[in-house]
Amino acid sequence: MATFKEFRNNVKPNWCPGCGDFSIQAAIQRAAANVGLEPEQLAVISGIGCSGRISGYINAYGLHGIHGRALPIAQGVKLANRELTVIASGGDGDGFAIGMGHTVHAIRRNLNITYIVMDNQIYGLTKGQTSPRSAEGFKTKSTPEGSIESTLSPLEIAMSAGATFVAQSFSSDLKGLTSLIEQGIKHEGFSLINVFSPCVTFNKINTYDWFKENIVSLDGFPDYDPSNRMAAMNKIMETNGLLTGLIYQNTTRKSYEDMITGFKSEGLANQELAITEEQFNQLVSEFK
C-alpha cells in the first residue's frame, strides 16, 4: 500500500515560503494514502493560479488546465474513467470568479469528484488583486479605495445549488483537513472543500493570526448534525461563513455516474476498443 511519501514527486514547489498551499498539498498526499489509493489511481486536475500549480507537485495523474476550467476537465476525466479518484483544485479566483459557472453546475451535477478550493481571498499569481472572496473595503492595487463589491459566500451558494457535501478547513489544521479530504474522497458525489490558505505575500489582512482568531470550528458543537440542511445553512450564516468542519452531507442522493443508464462502470483502460486498430490509427492520423 502506498504511503504519503509515494504521492510526492521531485518537483520543488515554487510557492512563497509560508504559503498556505504547502499544507494543502501535504493533506492531499496524506488523505490519498490513508484511503488506500496508489498514485496511478488518482488524478489531480487544477486550474491556473499559484494554487493551480498543485497538480504538478503530486505524484499521480495530473493536468494543469486553464484558468477557471479545472472542473470541466475533472468531470471529463471522471466520465472517461470512473475508476480514477478525481481531485480538482485551484484558487478562489479560479473557482469563484471566472470558474463560478462551472462550480455551480458541477455541484448540482454531483459527479463523484472532490473539489478543493485554496481560498486566500485574493489573486496571488497576478500579484494581489481582489477576488470575489475579498472583504468589502479590502484595498489592493485593483481597488485602491477599497473593494465596493460584496463578498461571495461559496458555502451558501453550494448549499443552495444542491450540494451533497460541503466542508471548510484551514491549511494550518493538517489533521482536520486531511480527515475532511478523506471523507470527501469517500463521499459518493461531488464534495466541495473550501480551505482558508493564507497568501503571506499579498494578503496582509487575512493572515494566519486573523484566521485563528476568527474561525469557528464545528468541534465546539458536539450536537451538530451535518445531515440537517437547514441547520447547515443557519450555521454558515451565523458564523459569517467562517465555520470549519464537515458542514453538510447528503448520503441519500446518487452520484451522476450512478444515474446514467448504460454508463460503463469499468474504466476506459479496461474496456474493449469499439473500433479496429486500423480505424484508430486513421483517426489519430487526422490530427497530425
Binding site for ligand TPP (CB under 6 A): 48-51, 67, 90-94, 98, 118, 120, 122-126, 131
User: Strand runs (DSSP E) across 24-69, as ranges?
Assistant: 42-46, 61-64
Cell of residue 78, nine digits: 471522471
Q: Which does 67 bind (CB under 5 to 8 A by kind): ligand TPP, ligand SF4, none?
A: ligand TPP
Measured CA to CA, the distance from residue 163 to residue 157 in angstroms comes to 9
**Residue 92 interaction partner, one of ligand TPP, ligand SF4, none, beta carbon < 5-8 Å per kind:** ligand TPP
Which of ligand SF4, ligand TPP, none lies near 200, with the C-beta cut-off 5 to 8 A by kind? ligand SF4
Q: What single string gives the DSSP state of each residue in 119-169?
A: E-SSBTTTTSB--TTSPTT---SS-TT---SPPP-HHHHHHHTT-SEEEEE
- β 165-170/61-64 pair status: unpaired
Give me the torsion for CA of 228, 121, 31, 250, rounded to 10°.
20
Nearer to ligand TPP, 68 or 176 (CB): 68
Q: Pick between residue 91 and residue 189 the one whose CB is nearest to ligand SF4.
A: 91
Return the range that interacts with ligand SF4 (CB under 6 A); candidates 14-22, 59-67, 235-243, 254-262.
14-22
User: 41, 129, 143, 201: which one contacts ligand SF4 (CB under 6 A)?
Assistant: 201
Q: State the minimum distance, in angstroms, from the CB of residue 89 to ligand TPP.
A: 10
**Ordered DSSP codes for 30-47:** HHHHHTT--GGGEEEEE-
- Which of 4, 6, 16, 152 contacts ligand SF4 by CB under 6 A? 16
Choice between 18 and 137, CB closer to ligand SF4: 18
- Taking the complex as a whole, the smallest distance from the CB of residue 14 to ligand SF4 amounts, in Å, to 7
In 3D space, the residue among 97, 241, 246, 99 whose CA is nearest the CA of residue 186 turns out to be 246
The residue from 200, 216, 231, 242 that contacts ligand SF4 (CB under 6 A) is 200
Element (H, E) at 178: helix 174-186
Q: Are 14 and 53 in contact (CB under 8 A)?
A: yes
Among 19, 45, 48, 77, binds ligand SF4 (CB under 6 A): 19
Contact residues for ligand SF4, defined by CB under 6 A: 15-16, 19, 21, 50, 120, 124, 199-202
